[in-house]
Amino acid sequence: MVVRHLALIAVLATAACSSISTVRVQPETVYVGPHLRPIAVIHAQVTSAYVLWIPIPGHVELDYVVNRMLLATAKALGADKVVNVQVDITPEDGIWTLRKLLGYRSASASGVAVLVEPEGGGAAGAAAGAAKAGP
């Protein structure tokens, strides 16, 4: 009986998991485009096990991985946008259906969190332009 409980606990503990990895980057080392300053690279991943076509809940959906994990982490780091987004998900139809017999599905998304820098003179240029336009 104890062995059965330990086996059940082990299966449930490893069945569904998610992770978010971040690494801060120096703006000089990563080019993302004009007027964008990279602050971090983010990778989010979710994996869920399947036993006899029954999923162990794990939110293996691109919507969850991109919006609730990747973009939420970028906003928490203070980023304005995420660029160079790459996504991947294990298909759920076709021959991949057999994987649900005793297998897993996973979804991942990664991108570079950036700050948008003002164009031209920035805030000082806009204030000078407003002062010139005066009454």
Say how far apart CA 45 and CA 57 lie, in whole Å.
14
Q: Looking at residue 4, what is its pLDDT?
A: 62
The SS3 of residue 22 is strand
Mean pLDDT, residues 128-132: 41
Domains of the chain are 17-118 (3.30.110)
Question: Does the structure show a pLDDT above 80 at 58?
Answer: no
Question: Does the structure show a pLDDT above 70 at 5?
Answer: no
Q: Looking at residue 86, what is its pLDDT?
A: 97
Length of the chain: 135
- The model's pLDDT over 77-121, given as tens digits with 9 standing for 90+, comes to 999 999 999 999 988 888 888 877 778 889 999 999 999 999 875
Average pLDDT value over all residues in the chain: 81
Question: Does the structure show a pLDDT above 90 at 42?
Answer: yes
- The model's pLDDT over 11-21, given as tens digits with 9 standing for 90+, comes to 555 556 889 99
Supply angle C-alpha 74, 76, 82, rounded to 5.
15
